[in-house]
Every structure is written in structure tokens, then in C-alpha cells.
Amino acid sequence: YDLILGQTFQVTANPMTTPWQQAVTVASDGAVLLRDGRIEQVGHASDLRQQHPQARITDYGDKLVCPGFVDAHVHYPQTAIIASWGKQLIDWLNTYTFPEETRLCDPAYARAIADRYLDLALAHGTTTVCSYATSHPASVDAFFDAAERRGLRVIAGKTCMDRNAPEALCDTVQHAHDESKSLLEKWHGRGRAHYAITPRFSPTSTPEQLEALGALWAQHPSCLMQTHLSEQVPEIKWVRELFPTARDYLDTYEMHGLIGERAVFGHAIHLEPREIDRIAETGAALVHCPTSNTFIGSGLMDVAGLAARSVPVGLATDTGGGSSFSMLRTMAAAYEVAQLRGTALHPAQLLYLATAGSARALHLHDTIGTLSPGYEADLTILDLASTPAISQRAAEAETIWEAIFPTIMMGDDRAIADVWIAGKRRITDQSV
Ligand code: GUN
Ligand code: ZN
């Protein structure tokens, strides 16, 4: 068994609703004891060293030991079209996304992209993702299989669409239901995999398809249900035309049984007061995708305001609408978006959103995202001086948070010193 030493990031409450000083701590001589894939003990280096003289020690010095990053909304099939120029949401989908997703009809290509995506995610310190696949069932198998080979806790689902998309990507009401059902029966709860029933968004599903997926979810309530909500103004206008009897965008899901505690809505930027009330009432979660929201030109989510209403909010790259695989870059974008709305998110809040916050949004808050006894041992170790620009700033820091913030704002995969997956070390950094 292993004893990890370093500065440890610990969360005891939600710093979006409780003052961060009372919710989050960093221990400068921290220690985490790992056994059989789980965290057994967290404490001070000298105490744990004494109690466990037999443990194999990995000493990270003043590096920051964090829970592995949790990316709560990605499209792994869009890996190869990240950073595609010049379009807003609907044109971006038609020009770049749908043609690329069509290529995943080839299972060999789907497997190659799933492997490529998960290696990139791990290189950026992300140990759990909640991903959309394409409409091809083999793209779901490819992703879960690639995650299983790496020992990762992941969530994914077949993206269901039966209108307003190329024929090669459209399924039907019956196929969406039956294929989702057989995939969730195969993968949900197998090893570290969970299944998310996944209608892409209201514009690409008929009311009948949404109804069928709502019925499927009612029969399998331990699955998540993920989709997109109110990302861009022209999209919302289109939804109003497609669903003339719905009260608002959220209602297009609500009408069909697609709301509840395990619902996870991506983006949620342009919400009506009724929608916010209903989300808060039902316990549904939202996911903030700040690099995507600026890259595609969608808008500025009110992450602080929504989280303050006790809505669970996760953080995500939204690869490849988002412009980065890095949760550090994503925390920086969340900081900038909040600044444009007049709120300064504290680094403790940003790290929370990328770990325990995302885990909470995905209903994995008893499993991952926190350095506490009993949790699965997925860890990301941050080098707080990974580039000359960062280290010269961090050298001036007077507090630990001042030392961490330059890595949040300027860090990337070079800041990821090491990753542990279920208690196993992935990278061997010679300098440690
Ligand atoms: N809305 C529906 N599909 C998508 C997608 O693939 N990416 C983003 N950003 N928004 C969407
Ligand atoms: Zn998305």
C-alpha cells in the first residue's frame, strides 16, 4: 500500500454556498494513505509515516495533491475537430460536428478516437469524464471499453437524434429506446462505468423520442440523463418554434419525464426564472462549460448565482465545442466568465468545481472528487511551478492560494506531475 506526501487539497463543505474559508483547506505537510484502490486515511505526513512504516512512500514535496479532475460534460467523438474556426452553435454542429460524428460509424475509428481522447484527458489530469458518444452503439462500446482498460470511472451514453441531423446520424424512436436500453443493461454498473441516457437536445429529437427516453429512464432511475439546455439565443428561438406548446426550453424535457435528481443539463446560460426555480426544486444538476461558451459565442452562465441557490453545478471542457482538454484552462475560463458577470471566484471554489462539484453534479459525490477515507483513489498531482511564467509569479506568493492561482490561470498539461487511478500510479515522474 502507498503513502502519498505533499500539499493536500481537502473539501469539507460546498464553498459555493458556505464561505470558502470554512469549506476548503490545504495542508502543507499532508499525507494520503491508499490501499486496495481507495483512500484509507488522510492526515499529516509525520503522523501517517509513523503509523505506517511499511507503506511505500511517494513524496511530492510542495506539489499539490488533488482529487483527479472530473470533467462533467464532453463529446469524446469531437476530439479531432476541437478548435474549428468561425461558427456559432447550429452552423458549428452542421459544418464540423455532424460530419465528424458520422465518421464514428466505423467502429475502428471510434476505438481510435476513444483511446486518443482518454489519453489526452489523463495527460491533462482528468480521471473521470461524463461523455456523449455518437448515435452509433459501437461508439458507446468503444468508449466504455477504452475506459475499462485504463481503470477509469466514467459515464457515457448513446446520443439519440431522430430529426434535424444528417440521415447517417439519425436513429428512430424505437432504435433510440432499444439501443439505449441494451447499452445501459450492458454497461451501467459494470466495473467503474455508469450509463447516461442521452437525448442530444430538443431540436434533434421528436417529442415521441423524448417520450420514449423518458419512459426508459423511469424504468432505470439509477442512470443519469444528460442533455443540453439553453446554450445559445437562436437555439432557444428554434426550440420555441419546434415545441409551440412548451412553456420554455426546460419544459420540452419536463413534458416528457426528462427532469429529476439525476438529470444533468449542459450549458444552461439563458434561463427563464421559471426554469431556474424548477431546476432548484427538482434537484437537477447544471454543467458550466466556459471555454465552449466563449469559443462558440454562447454567453456567460451565472455560475455563482445558480450555485448559491444550491443547484449542483459541475465544470466541464465540452470538448470539442470547448477549446481545451484542460480542466486548469477551464477553471481559468470560469474565473474570466464570472469576472465579466461581476463575481471573482476564489481558487478554492474553482478547484472545488473541477473535483467535488462535478462529482456532485454527476451523483458520484460519495465515490470520487474528495480526498477522504473510503473514496476511490483517483489523484492528480499539480506542479505549482511548471513553466517559467508560472514559477516566477508563484515565487512571490504569500499564501498557498496565491501560489495555486497562477497554475489555475496559466497552467496546462505541463502542470500535471502525476496521476493515480484507483490507487495505481500512472506516470512515473523522474524528478519526484
Ligand atoms: N448542443 C447540441 N449538441 C451540441 C454539441 O455537440 N456541442 C455543444 N456545445 N452544444 C450542443
Ligand atoms: Zn455538449
pLDDT in tens, 13-44: 999 999 999 999 999 999 999 999 999 999 99
24-35 sheet: strands from edge to edge: 38-44, 24-35, 2-11, 56-67, 379-382, 416-421, 424-425
CA–centroid distance, residue 416 to ligand 2 (Å):
25
CA–centroid distance, residue 46 to ligand 2 (Å):
45
Mutate to test the pocket of ligand 1, among 87, 93, 97 (most ligand atoms within 8 A of CB): 93
Q: Which residue ranges have their beta carbon within 6 Å of ligand 1?
A: 75, 89, 93, 97, 200-201, 228, 231, 292, 296, 318, 321
228 Cα nearest atom in ligand 1: 1
203 Cα nearest atom in ligand 1: 2
235 Cα nearest atom in ligand 1: 1
Mutate to test the pocket of ligand 1, among 75, 87, 249 (most ligand atoms within 8 A of CB): 75
Query: What is the distance between the alpha carbons of residues 136 and 107, in angstroms, rounded to a whole number?
Result: 9
DSSP 68: P
Mutate to test the pocket of ligand 1, among 71, 79, 89 (most ligand atoms within 8 A of CB): 89
Residue with cell 499525507: 31
**Alpha carbon of 285 to those of 98, 229, 334: distances in Å?**
26, 11, 17
| Domain residue extents for the chain | 2-68+370-425, 69-361
pLDDT for residue 423: 98
Mutate to test the pocket of ligand 1, among 102, 135, 228 (most ligand atoms within 8 A of CB): 228
State the CB neighbour count (10 A cutoff) for residue 296.
23
Q: For ligand 1, atom 11, name the residue with the nearest CA.
A: 228
Query: What is the distance between the alpha carbons of residues 294 and 300, in angstroms, rounded to a whole number?
Result: 8
CA–centroid distance, residue 266 to ligand 2 (Å):
6
pLDDT for residue 427: 67
The domain made up of 69-361 is a member of CATH 3.20.20.140: yes
CA–centroid distance, residue 121 to ligand 1 (Å):
19
Ligand nearest to the CA of 97: 1
Whether the Cβ atoms of residue 133 and residue 140 lie closer than 8 Å to each other:
yes
What do you get for the CA distance between the two ends of the chain, in Å? Answer: 18
State the CB neighbour count (10 A cutoff) for residue 189.
12
Query: What is the distance between the alpha carbons of residues 219 and 31, in angstroms, rounded to a whole number?
Result: 43
What is the C-alpha R_g of the chain? 21
CA–centroid distance, residue 163 to ligand 1 (Å):
15
Q: Interior CA angle at 79 toward 75 and 81, to 5°?
A: 110
> How does 232-267 read in b/e, with b if 16+ C-beta sit within 10 Å?
beebbebbeebbeebebbbbbbbbbbbbbebbbbbb
Query: Quick one: angle between helices 400-410 and 327-340, nearest 10?
Result: 100
pLDDT for residue 430: 43
**Alpha carbon of 116 to those of 113, 121, 124, 147, 414: distances in Å?**
5, 9, 13, 11, 18
**One-letter amino acid for residue 64 of the chain:** L
ipTM for the assembly = 0.99
201 Cα nearest atom in ligand 1: 2
> How does 159-169 read in b/e, with b if 16+ C-beta sit within 10 Å?
bbbbebbeeeb
Task: Please state the φ and ψ torsions of residue 355, each to the nearest 5 degrees.
Answer: -130, -90
Residues in the chain where the model's pLDDT stays below 70? 427-432
CA–centroid distance, residue 113 to ligand 1 (Å):
18
CATH top-level class for 2-68+370-425?
Answer: mainly beta
Closest to 23 in 3D by CA, of 33, 13, 31, 32: 13
Ligand nearest to the CA of 161: 1
Closest to 24 in 3D by CA, of 351, 333, 364, 369: 351
